[in-house]
Amino acid sequence: MTNAQASLAHLYRVFTKPEGQDSKLAQIERHLSDNLADFLSRHVVASNRSLEDIEQDFNQSLIPEQPQFVSEHAEQLLDKLVAHSVNTYSPRFIGHMTSALPYFHLSLAKLLVGLNQNLVKIETSKAFTPLERQVLGMIHRLVYKHDDSFYQQYLHNANRSLGSFCSGGTIANISALWVARNRLFAPRGQFRGISQDGLLAGMQEYGYQKLSVITSRRGHYSLGKAVDVLGLGRQSLLTLPCPNQTLDPQLALKEGQAILAQGGKVMALIALAGTTETGHIDPLDELADVAAELGCHLHVDAAWGGATLFSRRYGGLLKGIERADSVTLDAHKQMYVPMGAGMVLFKDPDAGNQVRHHAQYILRQGSKDLGATSLEGSRNGMAMMLYASLHILGRNGYELLIDQSIEKAKAFAAMIEAHPHFQLTTSPVLCLLTYRYVPQAVQERLLVEPQLANSLHPLLDELTVAIQKHQRESGHSFVSRTRLETQDYPQQAINVFRVVLANPLTSADDLTEILAEQHRLAVTLPQFRQVMEALG
């Protein structure tokens, strides 16, 4: 056999011949299926190898010339990649919004790739298109609570859309504001609408002096990207102070009216239902009144908190969300679906037509191709993952997950408050909270000499950063950190630990141990000594 023939044989093999039962890949698959926690704890090594060191394993810019055997490559993936990944399944990984997932997603992921559908058009997805529309309808109904006849009318309507699936909350937020912008600058007279004629012509036609979007300082960073991409510019995004972590409707109204008084226009008010940093929920119902008063689009970024609607006990925290013109939700957050399952929903099934587009070979007029109103083009069938989850867990199951997460966060908050060396900085509304390590001696001293705060805060900030870094590097547990103003320190942003208690596998013992580890770590750090020395 010549080299070329050998290469060709190898090539056809990878397309047509499965790896054997004893192959490395088959072993990996079995281990994943049999015991994911064990697979991860064996293969993800909790080393403190630095990123710069890991980069040495990924420093080849030349594509290898010759093919490699699958099993050989699988070994390398385990050694180089899996070993130095992050164990997001771990019950002590409570720093970000990525958590353990139900087991069945492993199998569904394989099915998804086996089917390899493209949901941009029916010709490459068929049943996946109605399935995705149904899932969008289910989530739409969770939010907007219309009756059967509404969904019968719109669920599979070729000329309407209840929303779009997309890769995540960022694309969902951009999509929502894109629709809001295009609707604001509708065609009239000679002006063919902003979609055709652009922002400059739109501003001239409508005579606005400036265009603004209002949200709080807790608004997700994707909102800044959205106004940048959409041509408004980041200065058009007013991020109002919110020391108590929620947007004050009076302040939003006042600022909005000031813009109108100057000849400006408020394009959208963005309320947050579960801020990324603290999990707080803006007063949606009152902000809906503000949006009505200002005559602007109300968008609710519920990427994190939307799933709270599954809970009868806590769903009421989102009262008013049904008044939003658009809502962002991420199924890969509190719906426990793998990464890549964002959604944007529109109250008005006609809203998506603001961005409808066609092509000659797909998305033709009258087709039900999902790509006709989405920002993305080709997409995979992630909607199947959410469809399966909604059925296998049921509303009931999701409710239990949501309730347990929130109650766990409240229990952790109580543990922090009871601990002599920690201070709660924001209380949990959903399952997020923030806190700080403040040695008891410092707490006591600040009670009697509050003016010391100015000199102590920068040192406590450094201590927080150092603890978080060392804890992350030690690899046993993980909390994240952020910097924000709080009710106690409204004028001065402070560094805090941030935890997200969404992993159903996290136990009270895990939480106790995380605090214990942080305390053990803290007292060994030079930043700790600096804080204590500053006490004099």
Torsions phi, psi for 438 (to 5 deg): -130, 105
Least separation in angstroms between CB 235 and a copy of itself: 5
Q: Is 109 in the site for a copy of itself (CB under 8 A)?
A: yes
Structure token digits, residue 61? 């810019």
Q: Beta-carbon neighbour count of residue 198 at 10 Å?
A: 13
Spell out, one character per residue from 491 to 530, where the chain touches a copy of itself: x when CB under 8 A holds, - when not: --x----x-----xx-------------------------
Q: Of residues 386-445, which lie at the interface with a copy of itself (CB under 8 A)?
A: 387-388, 390-397, 400-401
* Collapsed DSSP state (helix, strand, coil) of residue 213: strand
Which window, 216-224, 313-321, 343-351, 506-514, contacts a copy of itself (CB under 8 A)? 216-224
Q: Of residues 143-182, which lie at the interface with a copy of itself (CB under 8 A)?
A: 148, 151-152, 155-156, 166-171, 174, 178, 182
| Shorter beta-carbon distance to a copy of itself: residue 409 or 446 | 409
Question: Which of 1, 2, 61, 491 is in the footprint of a copy of itself by CB under 8 A?
Answer: 61
Question: Which of 90, 161, 276, 518 is in the footprint of a copy of itself by CB under 8 A?
Answer: 276
Which window, 224-232, 245-253, 262-270, 312-320, contacts a copy of itself (CB under 8 A)? 224-232
Q: Is 195 in the site for a copy of itself (CB under 8 A)?
A: yes
**Whole-angstrom Cα distance, residue 309 to residue 398?**
9
Size of interface with a copy of itself, in residues (CB under 8 A): 182
Strand partners, 301: 272, 328
**Whole-angstrom Cα distance, residue 520 to residue 79?**
31
Least separation in angstroms between CB 113 and a copy of itself: 4
Q: Is 275 in the site for a copy of itself (CB under 8 A)?
A: no
Q: Of residues 238-267, which lie at the interface with a copy of itself (CB under 8 A)?
A: none
Q: Of residues 318-337, which lie at the interface with a copy of itself (CB under 8 A)?
A: 330, 332
Q: Where are the alpha helices (DSSP H) in 270-323?
A: 284-294
Intra-chain end-to-end CA distance of the chain, in Å:
81
Question: Which of 55, 261, 448, 536 is in the footprint of a copy of itself by CB under 8 A?
Answer: 55
Which DSSP string do the residues of 465-495 spell out, in sequence order? HHHHHHHHHH-S-B-EEEEE--SSSTTS-EE
Q: Name the DSSP letter for residue 101.
A: -
Helices 36-43 and 24-34, axial angle in degrees (round to 10) = 120
CB contact at 8 A, 269 and 252: yes
Structure token digits, residue 329? 């939700």
| Shorter beta-carbon distance to a copy of itself: residue 106 or 251 | 106
Q: DSSP 3-state helix, strand, coil percentages of the chain (rounded to 5)?
A: 50, 10, 35
Query: How are beta strands 432-437 and 237-240 bridged, if at all?
Result: unpaired
Q: Where are the alpha helices (DSSP H) in 371-524?
A: 383-418, 440-448, 453-474, 508-522
Q: Is 7 in the site for a copy of itself (CB under 8 A)?
A: yes
Question: Which of 59, 190, 365, 491 is in the footprint of a copy of itself by CB under 8 A?
Answer: 59
- Residues 311-343 as b or e (16 or more Cβ within 10 Å = b): beebbebbebbbbbbbbbbbbbbbbbbbebbbb
| Shorter beta-carbon distance to a copy of itself: residue 169 or 439 | 169
User: Which value, in Å, is the radius of gyration of the alpha carbons in the chain?
Assistant: 26
Q: Of residues 15-44, which lie at the interface with a copy of itself (CB under 8 A)?
A: 15-19, 25-26, 28-29, 32-37, 39-40
Question: Which of 41, 75, 82, 470 is in the footprint of a copy of itself by CB under 8 A?
Answer: 82
Least separation in angstroms between CB 451 and a copy of itself: 26
Q: Of residues 468-487, which lie at the interface with a copy of itself (CB under 8 A)?
A: 472, 478, 480-484
Question: Which of 265, 297, 299, 379 is in the footprint of a copy of itself by CB under 8 A?
Answer: 379
Structure token digits, residue 472? 């992350």
Torsions phi, psi for 164 (to 5 deg): -140, 145
Which window, 13-21, 415-423, 440-448, 525-533, contacts a copy of itself (CB under 8 A)? 13-21
CB contact at 8 A, 143 and 345: yes
Q: Is 300 in the site for a copy of itself (CB under 8 A)?
A: no
Spell out, one character per residue from 113 to 142, where the chain touches a copy of itself: x when CB under 8 A holds, - when not: xxxxxx--xxxxxxxxxxx-xx--xx-xxx
| Shorter beta-carbon distance to a copy of itself: residue 290 or 464 | 464
**Whole-angstrom Cα distance, residue 170 to residue 330?**
10
Least separation in angstroms between CB 186 and a copy of itself: 13
Least separation in angstroms between CB 302 and a copy of itself: 15
